[in-house]
Structure 1
Amino acid sequence: MLESFKICIILNVFILLSTAAVGRRKPADAKPNIVIIMADDLDSRQLSCYGGQNLKTTHIDALAKDGLKFQNLIASEAMCVPTRASLFTGLYPVRHGSFQNHKPVYDNLKSVGHYLAGLGYRVGLTGKDHVTKPKSIFPFDIVEGFEPNCVAPTDDYRLDDVKKYITASDKPYCLFVMSINPHAPWTVGDTTEFDAAKLKLPANWVDTPVTRRQFVKYLAEVRRLDDQVGEINALLKQTGQDKNTILIFLGEQGAQFPGAKWNLYDTGQRSSMVVKWPGKVKPSSETRALVQYEDITPTLIDIAGGKPVAGLDGRSFLPVITGKSKEARNYAFGIHNNIPEGDPYPIRSIRDHRYKLILNLTPDKQYYNRFMMDRNRKDRNTVWFSWVDDITDPNAKKITDRFQNRPAVEFYDTEKDPFELKNLAADPQYAQRIAGLRTKLEGWMKEQGDEGAAIDRVYPKKQEAK
């Protein structure tokens, strides 16, 4: 009798332990984890999987080999804070309020942190922490590990806390890993990898020694970024998280070189995105679907099983990711307001898959950016002034004049002219297309409540909420 009793107890304990173990296992239909790695001021054309010839971005290329590469991710405003606010809120800049760099968002918004938390996710962020305040709007779990200050002279990082976060619970997570590479001041990374004389420069640059020296520093940070992507991917494999984790790489907007960041040319607006999702995304695939940063939060909500959120500007492109659709949107829009980075210089743009219309709303003024074209700088050893002072390159004056003195209307065939050097606005064969795009752009501005040139002004400083 006693022996039978012991056997019953042992069996019951075994059943309880087995049940508990099953409870800890993720069911086959468990919601996927999501890790999003975002660059900072990346010229996406430098990635070798996007055609770059100056370095082999081994780890980002590996993601592209395992996943889906987007060819047409467009930033609506080519500067850090507005792009990140758009990413997190699903709203265009005028509607979220951060339509100038470092201008805070409106205080009545919700963001990806709210939406995914409501669907059972933990939502964390490590690294560059622009657009994480106030906490009421951006309720991220802040994870230590990556440098939060984009202009720090170092980018030292560790993965201990990231590892703890992704393994802390069976509850699904969405973790944003926000690198500060390759944002200026370009002080990290191994520059000895690159020979300045052998670099292939973008077609819209003036070839000067200063430009090549600075480009070497920039590319060293692109290498650093690529290594970070590799380490995060390795961590997911090491912890077994890779099996049910979507890994997304984002390029943010263009580099701090003339004509890229702080403009609406493709070297500023055009970004990169690679999505790796084991079992869901076809390896080594690519799409020309047109998407914007505003579309990412709606897509994350869709992935998490949520319904579309009314009032957002973005729309889910999940059908593109899963191969059920080749298209996402017909048009991508752009806005630039130059204060506080320079004199007022408002610009708006619209593009389809091939053609792009740019409206410079104050064409009687000269474009000026204080970071690249500092009027008060006594030494002229900067990329921009090396272009202005160059007397050997016959294209130097044409390139600098184009940058400073812009016509009211610019129109480009981005397939034939990817660096947008030939303005077709006066060509009569495009008049009807230009008129149609202009009508759509002005209609979008009206829907957004965008008053155009009038909003590029100085606003009273708002005390930062905690």
Structure 2
Amino acid sequence: MPLYLALFFNTGFAIAQEKPNIIFFLADDQNITDYGCYGNDKVKTPGVDRLAKEGMIFYNAFTAQAICAPSRSQLFTGNYPLKNGCFMNHAKTKPTMKSVTTRLTALGYEVVLAGKSHVQPSSVYHWSKEWQPVKTEGKPRAYIPLDSIADYLKNAEKPFCMFITSKYPHGKYFDVPAKSADNYTFFPYDNKQKDNQDYLKKLAGYYRNIEEDNIQLDHVLNMVDQYLGDNTLFIYSADHGVNGKYTVYDRGLNVPFVVRWPKEIKANTKSDALVHYTDVLPTFIDIAGGKAPKELDGKSFLKILKGSKKEIHQYVYGVRTSQNILAASVSPSRMIRSKKYKYIRNFNSVEVVDQNLGDNEAVNAFIKMGALKFKNLPFEELYDIEKDPFEQVNLAKDPKYSKTKDQLAKAMFEWMKNQGDILDDTEGNMPLIHPGKRFRLDQQSKYIDIPDSLVNTLKKEDYLTLDYL
């Protein structure tokens, strides 16, 4: 049987082939709790809800970092941010990494990016084709390049993997009037905002942006149904939650993940398997007929898509790096999570900040500022996720959970060592990371307010310099 046969339709060409086409639609900054199919009946998400009815919805899918570039780097490399190098926003992936563009091209695929990129360098991410977002009249954000996508789907002559990366619902939001609090869904972390008119107006714009993203998704799904056959794997996700952005709480790291593949996945199925963004590339390699190399952190979840109930992970992990962002600070965290428990260590908590100080007074000043910025953040956090899904009750100091906490901490530090983490359990190890030309800790900005006496006090030798940045 030949690799593919072109079948003519009035609308163009559809490709019937042994290797499936793969499409990954990635939204930007949307909470898992803000979808109809995930239980929120106050928000309009017909496109994603349709996919959930026609495919499989995952409830325990995670990214390791609740911020744009590090989250995307995992999808594209199959490695956690610490290992692939992009563990700060606006940072580069290590040039030694091989991404999806190399892995799937070697297996006969074209690998296409349609929309927002936010990853670099081009030597790692060398797309077969790439189309930028398109400015759209009267909209707060640029659209995905729908015309280019349609033209490609009509005329594709070989199997492809296409990442469609939306700029929605990320702000800037639509300027729409606030409605009463009854029109929105609130959770333990924002329940106190019900009477805050500024917050309600922001929610109104955010919900409207979600609707706009679903309009774009509907266009894409209609194209797929029109031009492609049932051997097309379609995944929808969002890179991280907006309410947990920059954190390692589930509201930032637990991502929506919905998969449709008519040829292989039963409609309206559900999975509580623990899966991770690093698993996406190994799964794509598996689907394409290859074998994922051992240096990848992720594992294929192809068998789960086909109905297996066997878990592929005991734990997933999370990273918080507050340096190299607009409101930069020295306040790193690491997280380990099973399906039942989550352990977090906040390495520069005020509880332990004194042990992070050294001989350099300028460096010490910024370490102290980082700790004070999050003065209510404890050194350790432990949550029973099954009983406390919104992470409200910290069990870290409860002696009944000391064994669980110690087991998770040990496993987390083993993972950190394997990742080549810049942090460890050594007293005084609290590195400042050189940010390049932007987001310097010792520069005044709209987002960073520091005493005049600390401006320009950090020298190059005060930073940990990563040679690939």
After TM superposition, the score normalised by the length of structure 2 is: 0.80
Q: Deviations over 1:79-107 (max 9, x none)?
A: 11000011100111111111111111111
Aligned to 2:57: 69
Pairs within 5 Å for 1:94-105: 94-105=82-93
SS at structure 2 position matched to 1:202: coil
Residues 336-345 or 357-366, more deviating? 357-366
1:355 maps to 2:337: no
Which of 426, 433, 440 lines up with 1:457 in the alignment? Answer: 433
1:159 maps to 2:156: no
Aligned to 1:213: 201
Q: Deviations over 1:303-345 (max 9, x none)?
A: 1111121311111111111113431211000111100222110
Which of 185, 189, 193 lines up with 1:204 in the alignment? Answer: 189
1:27 CA displacement: 8.9
- Unaligned 5+ segments in structure 1 are 1-18, 368-400
SS at structure 2 position matched to 1:44: coil
Report if the CA contact (8 A) 1:346-1:456 is conserved. Answer: no
CA distance in 2, matches of 1:147, 1:111: 25
1:216 CA displacement: 1.0
Aligned to 1:268: 252
CA distance in 1, matches of 2:347, 2:29: 25
Letter in 2 for 1:290: L
Report if the CA contact (8 A) 2:178-2:201 is conserved. Answer: no
SS at structure 2 position matched to 1:146: coil
Report if the CA contact (8 A) 2:317-2:335 is conserved. Answer: yes
Aligned to 2:380: 409
CA distance in 2, matches of 1:267, 1:115: 31
Report if the CA contact (8 A) 2:248-2:318 is conserved. Answer: yes
SS at structure 2 position matched to 1:418: coil
Q: Deviations over 1:358-383 (max 9, x none)?
A: 1000111899xxxxxxxxxxxxxxxx
1:247 CA displacement: 0.8
CA distance in 2, matches of 1:254, 1:403: 20
Aligned to 1:14: none
1:252 maps to 2:239: yes
CA distance in 2, matches of 1:361, 1:209: 36
Report if the CA contact (8 A) 2:324-2:435 is conserved. Answer: no
Report if the CA contact (8 A) 2:15-2:157 is conserved. Answer: no
Which of 263, 274, 287 lines up with 1:290 in the alignment? Answer: 274
Aligned to 1:444: 415
SS at structure 2 position matched to 1:38: strand
Letter in 2 for 1:435: D
CA distance in 2, matches of 1:321, 1:113: 23
SS at structure 1 position matched to 2:57: strand
Change (3 A) 1:157 1:75: closer
1:109 CA displacement: 1.4
CA distance in 2, matches of 1:405, 1:148: 42
CA distance in 2, matches of 1:402, 1:68: 41
Aligned to 2:397: 426
- Unaligned 5+ segments in structure 2 are 8-13, 354-371, 424-428, 438-464
Change (3 A) 1:229 1:103: same
SS at structure 2 position matched to 1:180: strand
Which of 16, 29, 33 lines up with 1:41 in the alignment? Answer: 29
Change (3 A) 1:277 1:456: farther
Report if the CA contact (8 A) 1:412-1:424 is conserved. Answer: yes
CA distance in 1, matches of 2:89, 2:262: 37
SS at structure 2 position matched to 1:278: coil
Letter in 2 for 1:266: D
Report if the CA contact (8 A) 1:145-1:161 is conserved. Answer: no
Change (3 A) 1:157 1:302: closer
Report if the CA contact (8 A) 1:143-1:165 is conserved. Answer: no
1:243 CA displacement: 2.0
Report if the CA contact (8 A) 1:33-1:173 is conserved. Answer: yes
CA distance in 1, matches of 2:203, 2:331: 27
**Deviant stretches of 4+, over 6 Å:** none
Q: Which has the larger radius of gyration?
A: 1
CA distance in 2, matches of 1:249, 1:231: 14
Which of 127, 130, 146 lines up with 2:133 in the alignment? Answer: 146
Change (3 A) 1:56 1:184: closer
Letter in 1 for 2:123: S
Higher helix share: 1
Aligned to 1:326: 310
Aligned to 1:315: 299
CA distance in 2, matches of 1:289, 1:277: 18
1:153 CA displacement: 3.6
Letter in 2 for 1:449: G
CA distance in 2, matches of 1:27, 1:97: 37
Change (3 A) 1:339 1:365: farther
Report if the CA contact (8 A) 2:62-2:253 is conserved. Answer: yes
Question: Aligned pair count?
Answer: 404
Letter in 2 for 1:128: K
Report if the CA contact (8 A) 1:41-1:183 is conserved. Answer: yes
Identity over aligned pairs, percent: 34
Change (3 A) 1:73 1:140: same
Letter in 2 for 1:24: A
1:238 CA displacement: 2.0
1:59 maps to 2:42: no
Letter in 2 for 1:130: H
CA distance in 2, matches of 1:326, 1:291: 12
CA distance in 2, matches of 1:440, 1:69: 29
Change (3 A) 1:460 1:440: same
RMSD: 2.9
Change (3 A) 1:175 1:157: closer
Report if the CA contact (8 A) 1:129-1:148 is conserved. Answer: no
SS at structure 2 position matched to 1:407: coil
CA distance in 1, matches of 2:180, 2:114: 33
CA distance in 2, matches of 1:275, 1:430: 36
Report if the CA contact (8 A) 2:88-2:321 is conserved. Answer: yes
Letter in 2 for 1:344: V
SS at structure 1 position matched to 2:113: strand
Report if the CA contact (8 A) 1:196-1:213 is conserved. Answer: no
Residues 24-33 or 440-449, more deviating? 24-33
After TM superposition, the score normalised by the length of structure 1 is: 0.81
CA distance in 1, matches of 2:85, 2:103: 19
CA distance in 2, matches of 1:70, 1:163: 28
CA distance in 2, matches of 1:214, 1:365: 34
